[in-house]
Amino acid sequence: MEFEDRFSKQALQKVPMSERPIESAKDAVFESGCRDPLIESKNPRMNAAFVVLARNSEIDGVVSSMKSLERHFNQWFNYPWIFLNNERFSQEFKKKVAQVSSGPVRFGTVPEARWNFEEQQTNPVLFKEAIESQGDREIMYGNTGSYHNMCRFYSGYFFKHPLVRKLDWYWRVEPDVDFYCDLTYDPFLEMQMQGKKYGFTVAIKELVNTVPNLFRYTNAFIKKHDVPLSDAWEFFVDRFDVYKGQNSEHYKSITNIRDFWKKLEERVPMYHALQTAGEDAARVDQHSLNRLVDHSNKRGLHTVNKDRFDGTEYNMCHFWSNFEIARTDLFTSEQYQQYFDYLESSQGFFIERWGDAPVHSLGAGMFLNLSEIHYFRDIGYKHSTLGHCPKNSPHQLPYKPGSRYKNVYHEDDERNLANYDRPVSDGGVGVGCRCKCPADHAEIENSGGSCVALWAKLTADEREPRATLDLDAIEARALEMYEQYLEQHDNDGSKWKLSTADREELEKLGSL
Ligand SMILES: Nc1nc2c(ncn2[C@@H]2O[C@H](COP(=O)(O)OP(=O)(O)O)[C@@H](O)[C@H]2O)c(=O)[nH]1
Ligand SMILES: [Mg+2]
């Protein structure tokens, strides 16, 4: 059946996501455990750099992120750091970042025309009201104008900045992020070799109220430009066209098997009542019946208020864009730029608070295949209070510093890092190299908002075929089961439940 699978909520309660292997032909970690970075770094460098947008005031957070990334990766590979700002960087900022970098540092400013919205000039009243109204509605960051500027910049312009445009690859870094594991190979090179174009380390659900109309405009764009959707699109949509039959309307909001059985168990006795009510029953029209049945079905089922397009809704999944390793030409491409221009013309970047994360993600979903996207499950990463930290692979190697490493940590910290987490035993799920996860680490893969289970399901080698549920057949057979139950039991039917055998039989009727 369509929605019963090994990544369902119930299945994940038994074995959490972080303990499940998810390698497949479409996507797998590039290395489980450590390589020798002193050998790996003999490969030629790619045309790549870190890109950091930051304010002068964020220097401490920037240096903190840099130290972590230099220690865990760049000390062996010495990639350049590019810093962007909508104001000029201070001498202090420039000096401090140069002190910790093992690679070249470059600084760019973002011209006002790229940073500000046209409407800030042409219609300041509209702009101000839009921002304030989001504040009144308590939309996260909604009343911060500069946050909107930042999201729009990252959505549409940063890869066009002269310092970024000439790169083939970028790795986006933010102030105050942390890396937990050593990355002992060149991720840009691996991505290139494996045909990957976009890499993420956290995929979670977005806050609905920040993007109420983003999916609407995205669908309108798809229609207008006849965009041929690739298979990565499935990562972003809930489908509601799984039900066939005259009563499908009444099941359309149900997306998991538990609710499906509950609904069926509630509807079947109603059909029975109607059938046995004798003559009068004929006078009950279908509409009234459905109203009646639905009335009795209110408890336990959530109501849907998202917009639906061709049987699909945005499932709110997105890749966290505060970490991204990607090809610049994914976003400088004509198709992505058309998409951005379309979104820009809808004014959603300031009327709503569209993040660059869902915008990049939906772009990747439209234009990439799943096999072109990579989950860096081996990169331990924290931003704000959330993060991913893998268990260590059995395949570990001793740490050896790179020749240009600037020893950015105190020796106590180094000792702590050397005392990395115990690797999993053979057969366990562990892909990290020398990861040191915080003692109180809460794994984001196992949180309710994570989209990694969906990622695993979609990229799995053996995908369950998408079935359509033939409700007419299922309901008719379930009614027979109910009638049989009444014959055999001395109660009014209120204790009736579908048995496991019943469900198995009904599931077989599910596939058309
Ligand atoms: N130069 C500059 N950078 C900004 C501004 N607002 C946000 N950023 C940067 O944009 C990125 C995201 O902002 P952040 O405050 O971390 O947002 P959050 O991660 O969504 O909470 C960070 O790299 C910030 O340094 C701004 O007004 N000017
Ligand atoms: Mg941040």
**pLDDT, tens only, 150-194:** 999 999 999 999 999 999 999 999 999 999 999 999 999 999 999
Alpha-carbon distance of 413 to 410, in angstroms, equals 5
Distance between CA atoms of 163 and 147, rounded to whole angstroms? 22
Average pLDDT on 304-333 reads 90
The answer to whether residue 366 scores a pLDDT higher than 80 is yes
Q: What is the pLDDT of residue 322?
A: 97
Instruction: Please tell me which residue, 42 or 276, carries the higher pLDDT value.
Output: 42
* pLDDT tens track for 247-293: 887 887 787 778 889 999 988 988 888 777 765 655 666 666 665 66
Give per-residue pLDDT as tens, 202-232: 999 999 999 999 999 999 999 999 999 999 9
**302 pLDDT band (50/70/90 cuts)?**
very low
Whether 9 shows a pLDDT value over 60: the answer reads: yes
Answer whether 322 contacts ligand 1 (Cβ < 6 A).
Answer: yes
For the CA of 147, the closest atom of ligand 1 is 6
* pLDDT beyond 70 at 298: no
Share of the chain above pLDDT 70, in %: 92
Q: Which of 53, 81, 381 for mutating ligand 1's site (highest number of atoms within 8 Å of CB)? A: 53
Q: Count how many residues are written for the chain.
A: 512
Share of the chain above pLDDT 90, in %: 77
Model pLDDT, residue 300:
40
| Catalytic status, residue 324 | yes
**Cβ-defined contacts of 22-28 (< 8 Å, 24+):** 22/375, 22/377, 22/452, 22/455, 22/456, 22/459, 22/460, 24/459, 24/460, 24/461, 25/371, 25/461, 26/370, 26/371, 26/459, 26/461, 27/370, 27/371, 27/373, 27/374, 27/375, 27/459
Per-residue model confidence (pLDDT) at position 71: 98
Residues with CB under 5 A from ligand 2 (ion): 174
- pLDDT averaged over every residue in the chain: 91
Q: 146 in ligand 1 pocket by Cβ < 6 Å?
A: yes
Q: Which residue has the higher pLDDT, 446 or 306?
A: 446
Q: Which residue has the higher pLDDT, 391 or 304?
A: 391
Does domain 22-238+316-382+451-455 correspond to CATH entry 3.90.550.10?
yes
- Shortest-distance atom of ligand 1 to CA 84: 1
Domain ranges of the chain: 22-238+316-382+451-455, 254-303+467-510
Amino acid 2: pLDDT: 47
Task: Give pLDDT, residue 303.
Answer: 43
- Find all residues with CB under 8 Å of 319, minimum gap 6, and list them: 198, 200, 202, 203, 357, 360, 361, 364
Which pLDDT belongs to residue 244?
79
Q: What is the pLDDT of residue 464?
A: 63
- Please answer whether residues 374 and 199 qualify as being in contact, where contact means their C-beta atoms are separated by less than 8 angstroms: yes
Q: What's the whole-number mean pLDDT along residues 132-144?
A: 94
Higher pLDDT, 110 or 282: 110
Q: Which of 70, 324, 443, 475 is catalytic?
A: 324
Q: Which ligand is the nearest neighbour of the Cα of 53? A: 1
Which ligand is closest to the CA of 52, given by its number? 1
Mean pLDDT of 81-94: 98
Q: What is the band of 305 on the pLDDT scale with cuts at 50, 70, 90? A: low
Q: Is 316 left (phi over 0), alpha (psi -120 to 50) or beta?
A: left
